[in-house]
Structure 1
Amino acid sequence: MNVMNPSLLLLSGTTADDLRARCETVLNSFDDHANHDISLADLQARLAVVTPGPHRLAIVAATVGEARRALRRATDLLPDLTDDPADPAHWYAATVTDSPLRVAFVYPGQGAQRVGDQHVLADLDPVFADRCVQLLDSSVVPGLQPLVTAGWSGAPDHTDVDSTPLDSTAINLTDAAQTALTVLGVAATELFARLGVRPDLATGHSVGEFSALHAVGSLSAEDAVRLASDRGRIMRAQLSDGEYGMVALRCSGEEAGALAEGAPEVYPTCWNDGHQTVYGGTKAALEPYVAACRAAGIVATPLPAQGPFHTPLMAGSQQGFAALLADATMAAPVGHFVSTVSGRREADPAAIRDLLADQVTTPVDFRAAGAEILAQAPDVVVQLSGGESLIRMLRHDHPELSFVGVGFGGTSDSRDTVLHHLARLFVTMPGIHLAPVLAHNGVAARWRLQDVRLDRHSVIKLPAVAPQHAAPTTNRTTSVTSPSHTTGTTPTPGAQTAPAAQSAAVSPEAIRTALLTAMAEASSSPVAEIARGGRLAEDLGFDSLLMADTLRRLSQQVPDLRVGELALENVRTLDDLTQELARAVGASAGPAVATVTRPTPEAFVLPDSCERTLASFPELAAFERKQAEFQAAETLIPYYLPHDGIISNHTEIEGHPMISFSSYNYLGMSEDPEVQAAVVDAVHRYGTSVSAARILSGNRPLHDELEREIADFLGSEDAVVLVGGHATNASIVPQVVAGGDIVFHDGLAHDSIQQGIKASGAARHSFPHNDMEALGAALARRRGSYRRALICVEGAYSMDGDTVPLAEIVALKERYGALLMVDEAHSFGTMGATGRGICEATGVSPARVDILMGTLSKSMASCGGYIGGSHRFVEFLRYNLSSLVFSAGLSPANTAAALASLRVLRREPERVRRLAANADYFRAGVDRLGLDWGDGAGTPIVPVIYGDSARTLRVANELYRKGLSINPILAPAVAERLARLRVFITAVHTRRDLDAALEALAEISEATLVGATA
């Protein structure tokens, strides 16, 4: 018997009999895999992508034997199946209705934090893990990430952590604890939203209120984390270790209060429930109070807290935090937010701000808040971190109320417990979809099932209707795609058999079901919305492209459907299309599909949660607040400055001549006379635009010449050019990978790569920047679970100015059977002896890199992107890559500029040598000044890292006043500790230019340093 990690198997059906048939099918599928390595994780992934029906069964099994036993018992007991948690392979069963359920989210406060908490969710869902790391990177608590992510198998690590053992007690420091809890709470909220579980009401214990406010739409994720982190920082700054304390008492608030009467500097901090109260104060005052409590028979447990939170002793922190709250962007809740200060639902952002400030010195009344939550009669209560501590409090005070309560994290953060809680939600909530957490640890495509209808990744088997002369069938369903397995009908002598390509006629109802699924997938719309019917174009919004996508998806589900033979000329409505599809696949001649008369629509009421105008977007308000901060500080906003003339080593901004270190005109091609003449000639010959997609009438000889010369220069077989560098990455990634695949990308990968990954639907794994050991471990652990794996890196990284260890990457990609894409936006034209890029610089054959991507806007003084690779692949892209096929071709001017620049570069490789010499000279100068320029080398990008956004901005402004254009890169574009100036060196910079910049940096850096420490 193979012993494995527990897996969660989800089965469902439209009826109890349907569910039994599903169980039988899955049970039989084990025999089909007898000669293979059976993986319950694969079966878990396969079943997780099924759209669940109302009759549901969830089985938690650790071994194949447990799973088979549970399936046999379920098959025997159906339709009378109920929960059987006593079974070794636990199951949960229920019939779920479409009736909406009320859901409450609750979030714990300080004390619930643990090192490595939520490691199971992080393992189940890499998106959750990545989001936590992203939010942790934005916080200002040093050393927090390794404490939060300790033991997470799939979490990327974007920080450099030495080998010093973790101090696990550091998680209890006030700022660390409050930030960690909020990061986990916010990320878990976003995860459950992707599962289809959203709260109608939310509350949080103490710092948990920030996560609760995010859950109801009042705070953005980033603002929630920032406020919690600032709150913890302010509180910690007030406290002196050892002076204060807190104690948990096993008694009611009334009992604890009676003993505290007359006790100086002892105050209530939390009323949790009827038998749990917390008091705080100075340690000197707490000692006799605790002794009195114990003498009265009350259990008193000291807490590992730094201060007497929520008491008047914290008044020193309240004012500072109130000032931060006043500047915070806060929207009205779209659900119910229950304050643990007032114990009531609160809807006014101003009142909520006041309550959050008051909470610093006012006891947390979770007892009252819990009563208010339960007064709203929630069907489901979910605690998103810290286990079930708050749920137990709710049940203690209100044992008469019944609700489904599940908690995640905490001391029960085990895979078995998490899967049991997910199982309970699956058999409770109608709209839940657990694929995001169950489909990553296995490969759905590896588990073959003959009769499970999936909403994607699988052939849909349609229920068959017996031909008119067929004998009665003993099987409930018959596949229209596998005639060899058709046992459901036995034709009588003389009966006319169905066409050879299909096993039996198919009901129009089954075809309609498959059609609705395909239409919903194509349009990203709910099935219920499509099922209302009506006219395809006018009512449902299906144009020719959407219709073609729908029929493509449908043909994958129903291989007997020949799309080219459909008579679609007179198809106008969903019913028309259903009837035509039924005819095409030989549907039974039963009653015609009735024409649906659309009922008079109900009066439309827009829910309060909907944002009605662009002006109502919270992110717009946050942006305007940031702009106002710049303006109030009378600081030059260093963005969208109008540069006049050609930007090279010099530029002009609003009439002021400047030395420019802010453009990537690396080789000075933009002002080259030969390049400019080629542009003028191209415009005279071809006009300003090609005015069409290249596949149609937008192709010009210049395009073909440029592609041939790029391929020859790179050393690849072929190349294709596109109109934008960002669009090139954003479209090539989803062309190569999709759902069921995985992308491993460097933690500093450009936004365009990450947008492409999101659009692809592939799983993603971010590895620490240039950490080959981490990449190798990730490939070893995860590569085998996916159809395709793509590694995305950059030749030269535009933020740090360092390069990829290409030879090591290539060795890993070849060892693990992965594909490799290298973005050469900043290495093409700048690296290697002749500017041929990272392959020339490292001695790696371009043939060993599957996709060489680059841009034309930097060394080539143009605009656009290119893809280099094998001729077969590039030719495929010419007819399939959306950003090429559906976009106008590169303009004649830009094409000519790139082509002429490339020809000049081939003739004048000394430009590359001048560029490298200038970069080395400047880097050495920065080093002599004692400034931090990171680990980069060999590129024309030199960061000057100040580690403080405010100081970096001051330096950039002073440089501007001295006639130097150098861009600041501030948080959140980079972590606050990595705020920097980004200096772009060019081949046309003179030593005088470089020395002027170094002298200014020396003067300004010294002045700002003195000002910062004065």
Structure 2
Amino acid sequence: MIQAFIHAPRYHVLVEIALVIWILRLLFFTKSYRSERTVLTEKEKEDLIEDWQPEPLAPPLSESDAALLNVNERIVDRHIWEFCSKIGKHVTVNGHECLNLASMNFLAMNEDPLIEEDAVASLRKYGVGSCGPRGFYGTVDVHLFLEEALQKFMGCEEAIIYSYGFSTVASAIPAYSKRGDILYADESVHFAIQKGIQASRSRVRYFKHNDMDDLERLLQEQEREDQRNPKKAKVTRKFILVEGLSMKHGDLCPLPKLVELKNKYRVRVFMDESLSFGTIGKTGKGVTEFYNIDVTEIDLITGSLEYALGSVGGFCVGKSYVVDHQRLSGLGYCFSASNPPMLSQAAITALQILQDKPEKLERLQENSKWMHRQLAQIDGLKVSGEAISPIIYVQLSDATGQTGVDRALLQRIVSECEIQGIALTCPAFLDDEELFVPPPSIRVAVNCDLTKEEIDEAIRIIQNVVRDVLSTRDAFAQ
């Protein structure tokens, strides 16, 4: 050992000596250093605590946070004479009894006694929660029953359910598209899809809303780029992201042309049917049924249980090998507690009601067409969206172009309608985070239980309020 020390390189010996000195310092000098720390008196501690100003948990709101700065709080409460009332066809807002044209309870499943009865029975059998993610100990038989029911209803090979509608599409997109892949997305896709795009870290190229010519232009540009670099093109996956029924505009995607482009340029199509599921098509299967297109033409369909079915959660359907991939790669599926059994059972019952009572869907579509037609006749308003859509967006036909002024005018219309017994809402967006925010509008949600007389009365009230509010527009703007 001594010989090794003698023959060792000098720099090696110096490094070892330095290490030994450092270790000795840590062992013998740390205690004395700690003992020299300043000890505060009780009064000094109290003074420091009194002077301490904690930072706010959230930054102060700016003028752009319109949704959070809205001072017109709208409190939905239950009837005084009822122990527990549901938010259905009628609702009490700030003490006003209103016809509900704000909630997306399209098929009136929120008030169905059979759904409530089955959910309560499931609650008594399984308890409130499932206590874990699906892949560990959170799978209950009703989850499998719901997946089977959705798979059969949509005519696909397999289905998978999530416990939260927002996380469904936001988890599905990054499960397939990764860094280096390309996403072609409609510029009006809703916020959950935008978050899925962001999580995927893929290259995204937005095309104009429902503009298939613009989409084809982007696909052609990429085709030319692939020809210059065929090696890279082989490992680059390409996806088109669209909504069946637009959350921001209330119109349908041009699916026939989309399928044509898909087959021509060999890209995959992911379609979110959150709003169109249960509301569009002869039996409520969505946009594929509306256009009579084979559901297998769409690589992955995502949907929500929170609108037409009145439950909570989301689902994906498609080919088995596509859906199965999410059971190990869908973050919202792998790491979130599974859907509470009673909510899965509620969705099963609601889906069965949809199939057993097709007249619900027929009434919804008739009401949507009638509401759209009547709203379009009101002077001062411009109606957008498909006539068959259960959500209708109404804008000012002569907008000022100033977002704040137009939004305030529309909010005033909503408030006045509420006082006169009609509950409406202005859709809110996160202006600092969402892309391609649409102009201010009023959103009208139709449900199947509305009568023609109720719709006509609502139109009469809205028309009078719009006339009164717009007559004072100049004074209001000043």
Give TM-score scaled by structure 1 length: 0.38
Partner of 2:357: 908
1:961 pairs, out of 386, 398, 419, with 419
Q: Which digits, 9 at most, give the CA deviation of each residue in 1:570-625, with x for residues without a partner? A: xxxxxxxxxxxxxxxxxxxxx99x9997999xxxxxxxxxxx9752865x331698
- The answer for the alignment partner of 1:949 in structure 2 is 407
Aligned-pair distance for 1:655? 4.0
SS at match of 2:383: coil
**Deviation per residue, 1:847-875 (Å, 9 max, x gap):** 01011000000111100000101012222
Q: 1:781 to 1:702 in 2, by over 3 A?
A: same
Spell out, residue by residue over 1:129-162, the C-alpha distance to the aligned partner (whole angstroms, 9 max, x if none): xxxxxxxxxxxxxxxxxxxxxxxxxxxxxxxxxx
Contact 1:952 1:970 in 2 (8 A): no
Look up the equivalent residue of 1:1010 and give its one-letter code.
Answer: S
- The separation in 2 between residues aligned to 1:790 and 1:862, in whole angstroms, is 29
Figure out how many residues of one structure are paired with residues of the other and give that number: 406
Give CA-to-partner distance per residue, 1:190-232, whole Å, 9 cap, x none: xxxxxxxxxxxxxxxxxxxxxxxxxxxxxxxxxxxxxxxxxxx
Code of the residue aligned with 2:324 in structure 1: it is: E
| 2:178 is the counterpart of 1:738 | yes
Corresponding residue for residue 981 of structure 1: 442
CA contact (8 A) 1:742 1:790 kept: yes
CA-CA distance at 1:815 after TM superposition:
1.4
Percent of counterpart pairs with the same letter? 28
Q: What does residue range 812-831 of structure 1 map to in structure 2 within 5 Å?
A: 812-831=261-280
The equivalent residue for 1:714 is 154
C-alpha contact (below 8 Å) 1:916/1:938 kept by paired residues:
yes
Q: Decide whether aligned partners of structure 1 residues 820 and 966 sit closer, same or farther in structure 2, where only a CA change above 3 A counts.
A: same
Q: How big is the shift at 1:986?
A: 0.5
Per-residue deviation, residues 637-656 of structure 1 (Å, max 9, x unmatched): 45xx3343212221123443
Q: Could you tell me whether the CA contact under 8 Å between 2:373 and 2:387 is conserved in 1? A: no
Tell me the residue number matched to 1:940: 390
How far 1:936 sits from its partner (Å)? 2.5
Task: Tell me whether 1:642 sits opposite 2:91 in the alignment.
Answer: no
**Cα separation, 2, equivalents of 1:846 and 1:819:** 13
738 and 657 in structure 1: CA distance in 2 versus 1, 3 angstrom threshold: same
Assess, with a 3 A threshold, how the Cα gap between structure 1 residues 915 and 897 changes in structure 2: closer, same or farther. Answer: same
> Aligned partners of 2:366 and 2:144: how far apart in 1?
34
Q: Counterpart of 1:1006 in structure 2: which amino acid?
A: R
Q: 1:850, 1:995 → 2: CA distance?
A: 42
CA contact (8 A) 2:242 2:270 kept: yes
The structure that has the greater radius of gyration is 1
Structure with bigger RCO (C-alpha 8 Å, 6+ apart): 2
Q: Retained in 1: the 8 A contact 2:375–2:459?
A: yes
Output the amino acid matched with 2:374: G
Say whether the 8 Å CA contact 2:281–2:289 is kept in structure 1: yes
- Correspondence 1:165-314 to 2 at 5 A: none
1:849 to 1:968, Cα distance in 2 relative to 1, 3 A: same
Amino acid at match of 1:920: K
Q: Could you give the per-residue CA deviations for residues 375-434 of structure 1, whole angstroms, max 9, x where no partner exists?
A: xxxxxxxxxxxxxxxxxxxxxxxxxxxxxxxxxxxxxxxxxxxxxxxxxxxxxxxxxxxx
Matches within 5 A, 1:141-152: none
* 853 and 616 in structure 1: CA distance in 2 versus 1, 3 angstrom threshold: closer
- In structure 2, the partner of 1:693 is 133
Matched, 1:926 2:360: no
| Secondary structure of the structure 2 residue equivalent to 1:779 | helix
How far 1:974 moved relative to its partner?
A: 9.3
Q: 1:780 aligns with which of 213, 220, 238?
A: 220
- Residue correspondence of structure 1 range 30-109 to structure 2 within 5 A: none
The CA distance in 1 between the partners of 2:437 and 2:464, in whole Å, is: 23
The question of 1:615 aligning with 2:56 is answered yes
CA distance in 2, matches of 1:977, 1:801: 12
- Which amino acid letter does the alignment assign opposite residue 408 of structure 2? A
Separation of aligned partners in 1, 2:77 and 2:112: 19
- How many angstroms does 1:996 deviate by? 2.3
Mapped partners of 1:788, 1:978: distance in 2 = 34
Name stretches of at least 5 consecutive residues in structure 1 with no aligned partner.
1-590, 601-611
Contact 2:385–2:393 (8 Å) recurs in 1: no
Which residue of the partner structure matches residue 859 of structure 1? 308
Secondary structure (helix, strand or coil) at the match of 2:136 reads helix
Q: Distance in 2 between matches of 1:652 and 1:987?
A: 20
Amino acid at match of 1:642: V
Give, as a single letter, the amino acid of the residue that structure 2 aligns with 1:932.
Answer: K
- The aligned residue for residue 1000 of structure 1 is 461
From 320, 330, 334, the counterpart of 1:871: 320
Question: 1:764 Cα deviation (Å)?
Answer: 0.6
Aligned to 1:463: none
Secondary structure of the structure 1 residue equivalent to 2:459: helix
Q: In structure 2, how many angstroms separate the alpha carbons of the residues matched to 1:688 and 1:595?
A: 59
Superposed CA deviations along residues 667-703 of structure 1, whole A, max 9, x for unmatched, are 0111111111110111011111111212122111111
Aligned to 1:664: 104
1:748 is aligned to 2:206: no
**Does the CA-based 8 Å contact 1:663-1:984 persist in structure 2?**
yes
SS of match in other structure, 1:682: helix
Q: 1:928 to 1:872 in 2, by over 3 A?
A: same
Q: State the AA in 1 paired with 2:138.
A: G
The 1-side partners of 2:358 and 2:185 are apart by 32
* CA distance in structure 2 between the aligned counterparts of 1:732 and 1:911, rounded to whole angstroms: 31
3-state SS of 1:648 partner: coil
User: Is the alpha carbon distance of 1:703 and 1:623 closer, same or farther for their aligned partners in structure 2, counting shifts above 3 Å?
Assistant: farther
The aligned counterpart of 1:474 is none
Q: CA deviation at 1:969?
A: 2.8
**Which residue in 2 is equivalent to 1:764?**
204
Q: Aligned with 1:895: secondary structure?
A: helix
Deviation, structure 1 residue 627: 8.2
Q: Secondary structure at the match of 2:137?
A: helix
- 1:705 is paired with a residue whose SS is helix
**Which amino acid in the other structure matches residue 1000 of structure 1?**
I
Structure 2, unaligned stretches of length 5 or more? Answer: 1-14, 27-52, 79-84, 227-231, 400-405
- Closer/same/farther in 2, CA of residues 803 and 666 from structure 1, 3 Å limit: same
Q: CA RMSD in A?
A: 2.8
1:779 positional shift? 1.1
Residues 969, 804 of structure 1: CA spacing in aligned structure 2 closer, same or farther, 3 A cutoff?
Answer: same
Structure 1 letter corresponding to 2:144: D
| Whole-Å separation in 2 of the counterparts to 1:918 and 1:720 | 32
Match of 1:652 in 2: 92
2: CA distance, partners of 1:975 / 1:673 = 41
The answer on whether the counterparts of 2:76 and 2:91 sit within 8 Å (CA) in structure 1 is no
Q: Distance in 2 between matches of 1:595 and 1:667?
A: 75
State how far apart, in whole Å, the 2-side matches of 1:974 and 1:963 are: 34
Separation in 2 of the partners of 1:717 and 1:685? 30
CA positional deviation for 1:791: 0.7
Q: Secondary structure at the match of 1:745?
A: strand
Letter of the aligned partner of 2:450 in structure 1? Answer: H
CA distance in 2, matches of 1:670, 1:981: 23
Q: Matched residue of 1:905: which SS?
A: helix
**How far, CA to CA, are the matches of 2:183 and 2:450 in structure 1?**
39
What secondary structure does 1:860 align onto? Answer: coil
